[in-house]
């Protein structure tokens, strides 16, 4: 049996799995509910998932400058750099 793993664009169908992954690591990340994920997805410059035979194993959501995100880490980049991803 072969395992197929791919990196692909995140879609709303992946949101439940993304929220579960984020919640499992919330002590490293910011808390996120569905409304917040939808907002971030809409602003993301890059939003990908690792899909292994239909199971979402990881995600990456990257924002550019001037996004409406209030994370202290993001705000540091916003203050420190005119352009970033």
Q: What is the pLDDT of residue 20?
A: 98
Q: What is the pLDDT of residue 48?
A: 98
Q: What is the pLDDT of residue 84?
A: 95
On whether residue 74 sits in a domain, the answer given is yes
Q: Domain containing 31: what range?
A: 5-80
- Which residues of the chain have a pLDDT value below 70? none
On whether residue 45 sits in a domain, the answer given is yes
pLDDT digits (tens, 9 = 90+) for 35-57: 999 999 999 999 999 999 999 99
Instruction: Report how far residue 12's alpha carbon sits from residue 71's, in angstroms, rounded to the nearest whole number.
Output: 22
Q: What is the pLDDT of residue 1?
A: 78
On whether residue 11 sits in a domain, the answer given is yes
Per the structure, how many domains does the chain have?
A: 1
Residues 6+ apart with CB under 8 A from 18: 10, 37, 49, 56, 59
Instruction: Report how far residue 66's alpha carbon sits from residue 41's, in angstroms, rounded to the nearest whole number.
Output: 14
On whether residue 85 sits in a domain, the answer given is no
On whether residue 21 sits in a domain, the answer given is yes
Question: pTM (2 decimals)?
Answer: 0.89
Instruction: Report how far residue 46's alpha carbon sits from residue 60's, in angstroms, rounded to the nearest whole number.
Output: 7
């Amino acid at each position: 049996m072969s395992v197929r793993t791919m990196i692909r664009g995140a879609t709303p169908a992946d949101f439940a799995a993304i929220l579960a992954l984020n919640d499992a690591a919330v002590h490293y990340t910011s808390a996120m509910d569905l409304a917040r994920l939808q907002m971030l997805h809409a602003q993301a410059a890059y939003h990908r998932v690792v899909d292994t035979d239909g199971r979402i194993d990881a995600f990456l959501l990257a924002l550019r400058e001037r996004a409406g995100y209030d994370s202290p880490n993001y705000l540091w980049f916003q203050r420190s750099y005119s352009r970033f991803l």
